[in-house]
């Protein structure tokens, strides 16, 4: 009965049977950004510096949710799992920032063809194609499960003093014991530093800061 129900939901777009592919291998790398020597601008709450181990993943991004018949595909990123001659395969469940999850539990994967048709693969390996040209392929950086990241965050300016937040993240979760908020007096120096990172403040107000990166937390390999 459940199989018949899912087949009914998939509707007239059924084009055969396909198994998801899981032959994609992502690449992990150390990242320090922005680059040393670059001049940047950050607003209150923005990250000024980021350093850590990330995985560069291929993904399919859908900018807005789409619905056809009883099928809904939410907006967000879908991480690539594999590919073959039929197209690229992406996960239906994506537990990442701005990741998408297809509701209902009956869809196990999506496949995007070379013609940018988007097809669903259900738990019985039925393939149905109802959408076309609704998204684009992207590369995104995702924190590793056992990774460690450091960031500096701009927290605003009071008088001639600026406030910077330092955050450490493990597996994309903040570690409160290693968080700190620091105040710097620009009357004393336009150069500020924390845990090896060094910045030259060019201009700052209570909305944004313009700065030059002199040194990051450590050098990316």
pLDDT the model gives residue 146: 60
pLDDT score, position 10: 47
Q: How confident is the model over 9-17, as a mean pLDDT?
A: 54
Tokens in use for 144? 């590793």
How far apart (Å, rounded) are the C-alpha atoms in residues 37 and 27?
26
> Per mean pLDDT, which of 103-112, 136-145, 146-155, 191-200 is the most reliable?
191-200
CB 91 within 8 A of CB 76: no
pLDDT of residue 85: 94
Go through the chain and tell me how many residues it has. 221
Per domain, the residue ranges of the chain are 2-26+56-143, 30-52+144-215
* Kind and range of the H or E run holding 152: strand 148-158
Q: Rg for the chain (alpha carbons), in Å?
A: 23
Q: Which residue is associated with the tokens 């990330």?
A: 54
Q: For residue 35, give the DSSP letter.
A: P
Contact (CB, 8 A) for 117 and 131: yes
**Per-residue pLDDT tens over the stretch 136-175:** 999 998 876 666 789 999 999 999 999 999 998 776 555 5
The pTM of the full predicted model, rounded to 2 decimals, is 0.64
- Cis amide bond preceding 142, omega within 30: no
CB atoms within 10 A of CB 124: 13
DSSP secondary structure letter of residue 219 = -
The token duo for 8 is 């009914």
- For the beta sheet containing 197-204, the strands, ordered from the edge strand earlier in sequence to the opposite edge, are 39-43, 208-215, 197-204, 191-194
Interatomic CA distance for residues 169 and 141, integer angstroms:
15
Strongest mean pLDDT among 12-21, 61-70, 86-95: 86-95
């Amino acid at each position: 009965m459940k199989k018949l129900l899912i087949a009914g939901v998939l509707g007239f777009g059924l084009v055969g049977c396909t198994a998801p592919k899981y032959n994609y291998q992502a690449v992990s790398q150390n990242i320090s950004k922005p680059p040393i020597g670059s001049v940047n601008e950050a607003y209150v709450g923005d990250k000024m510096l980021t350093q850590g181990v990330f995985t560069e993943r291929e993904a399919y991004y859908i900018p807005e949710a789409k619905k056809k018949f009883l099928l809904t595909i939410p907006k967000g990123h879908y991480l690539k799992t594999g590919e073959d001659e039929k197209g690229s395969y992406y996960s239906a469940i994506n537990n990442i920032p701005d990741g998408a999850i297809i509701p209902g539990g009956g869809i196990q994967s999506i496949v995007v063809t070379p013609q940018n048709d988007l097809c669903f693969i259900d738990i019985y390996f039925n393939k149905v194609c109802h959408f076309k040209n609704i998204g684009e392929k992207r590369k995104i950086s995702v924190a590793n499960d056992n990774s460690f990241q450091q960031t500096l965050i701009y927290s605003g300016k009071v008088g001639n003093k600026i406030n910077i937040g330092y955050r450490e993240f493990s597996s994309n979760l903040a570690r409160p014991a290693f968080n700190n908020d620091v105040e710097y007096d620009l009357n004393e120096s336009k150069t500020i530093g924390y845990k090896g990172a060094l910045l030259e403040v060019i201009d700052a107000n209570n909305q944004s800061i313009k700065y030059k990166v002199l040194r990051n937390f450590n050098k990316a390999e």
